[in-house]
């Protein structure tokens, strides 16, 4: 029994409480320091799953494609993220639908702070934190190039800050919707990269990703405005109460603070869209330069393929004459 209790500490989420409801009692969860032990266990699970995907899927495909070292590293990165984003999108969509967060948008801010979480919501957040923490040692295991490490560290840090912030500040419902939108766009991007590595002439999926990216950015900005601008200022409990998980809802009563936060959100989304537009313009410029160079090469090949007629003189009445007017044919000498 002692070992079973210790095993449950690693495997199952902790801090369960019974919340009374109209139909009886409902078991829900809140967070604490014991969550670190559960996250540690699932970090090792994520490392094992990472190795399984690499060994039985990505390495076999790489042997057939014969990619260069640079493309090989990018292919492995996108392959792992495609598997992760696909699983997370399906899982996150199931959670938000079953919990009613999409059908009832008011639930994103009503009864804030959302201290008590359903089992599937807390387990989802613990697994998300475990995955992005496991990505740190994977930088060493996968022998990522030095020039790629800063970019990947920034990406890992941003995900950890946003997921941990939503989890600790009791904004888990809003965080679920934002993660769903972000992971959906990232899935199409890395899927487009995989298709491009297999066939460099196939870039159609990048166009699909571009549409999905713009749509998800618009939904993200709308969600921020809805929750920060209209939802949280109407929360009944506006007093600062860290013990009950109410950290900053009282700040949103101040219109100056609320507008400042919305301005920062809009500026951040505008910077993301600017980088996206710059990337698309550069890609289209490279595409048209490649197409024009191919046309010039094809035109040059056609000109070289045409036969050139070279005459030693000029034509006169159908007979080729030399420059001095004589026939170019040599006369036969009569034998004496």
Distance, in Å, from the CA atom of 179 to the CA atom of 90, rounded to the nearest integer, reads 12
User: Cβ distance 80 to 187 under 8 Å?
Assistant: no
Residue-level pLDDT at 335: 42
Chain segment 101-145, per-residue pLDDT in tens? 988 888 888 888 788 899 999 999 999 999 999 999 998 888 888
- Domain extent at residue 194: 1-295
Q: Is residue 218 part of a domain?
A: yes
Flag whether pLDDT at 31 surpasses 70. Answer: yes
pTM for this model (two decimals)? 0.82
Q: What is the DSSP letter of 11?
A: H
Alpha carbons 22 and 48: distance in angstroms, whole number: 43
Q: In the predicted model, what is the mean pLDDT of residues 245-249?
A: 64
Does some domain include residue 312?
no
Asked whether residue 172 is assigned to any structural domain, the reply reads yes
> Could you tell me which residue, 32 or 313, shows the higher pLDDT?
32
What angle, 0 to 180 degrees and rounded to 10, lies between the N-to-C axes of helices 119-141 and 69-98?
A: 170
9 contacts: CB under 8 Å, gap ≥ 6: 34, 37, 38
Half-sphere exposure for 65 (CA within 13 Å, toward CB): 21
Number of domains in the chain: 1
Is 179 a domain residue?
yes
CA gap 37, 154 in Å, rounded: 25
């Amino acid at each position: 029994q002692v070992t079973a209790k210790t095993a449950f500490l690693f495997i199952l989420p902790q801090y369960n409480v019974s919340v009374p409801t109209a139909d009886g009692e409902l078991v829900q969860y809140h967070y604490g320091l014991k969550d670190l032990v559960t996250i540690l266990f699932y970090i090792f699970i994520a490392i094992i799953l990472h190795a399984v995907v690499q060994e039985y899927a990505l390495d076999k495909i790489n042997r057939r494609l014969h990619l260069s070292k640079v493309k090989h590293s990018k292919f492995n990165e996108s392959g792992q993220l495609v598997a992760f984003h696909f699983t997370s999108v399906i899982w996150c969509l199931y959670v938000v639908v079953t919990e009613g967060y999409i059908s009832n948008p008011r639930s994103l801010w009503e009864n804030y702070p959302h201290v008590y979480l359903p089992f599937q919501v807390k387990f989802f957040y613990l697994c998300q934190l475990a995955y992005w923490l496991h990505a740190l040692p994977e930088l060493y295991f996968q022998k990522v190039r030095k020039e790629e490490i800063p970019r990947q560290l920034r990406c890992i840090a941003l995900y950890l800050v946003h997921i941990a912030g939503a989890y600790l500040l009791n904004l888990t419902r809003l965080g679920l919707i934002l993660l769903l939108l972000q992971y959906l766009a990232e899935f199409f991007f890395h899927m487009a990269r995989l298709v491009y590595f297999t066939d460099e002439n196939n870039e159609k999926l990048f166009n699909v990703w571009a549409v999905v990216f713009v749509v998800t950015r618009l939904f993200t900005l709308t969600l921020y405005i809805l929750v920060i601008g209209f939802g949280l200022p109407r929360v009944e409990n506006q007093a600062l109460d860290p013990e009950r998980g109410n950290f900053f809802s009282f700040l949103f009563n101040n219109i100056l603070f609320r507008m400042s936060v919305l301005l920062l959100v809009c500026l951040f989304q505008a910077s993301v869209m600017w980088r996206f537009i710059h990337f698309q313009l550069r890609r289209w410029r490279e595409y048209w330069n490649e197409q024009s160079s191919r046309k010039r090469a094809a035109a040059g090949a056609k000109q070289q393929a045409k036969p050139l007629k070279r005459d030693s003189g000029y034509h006169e009445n159908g007979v080729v004459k030399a420059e001095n007017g004589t026939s170019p044919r040599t006369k036969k000498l009569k034998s004496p």
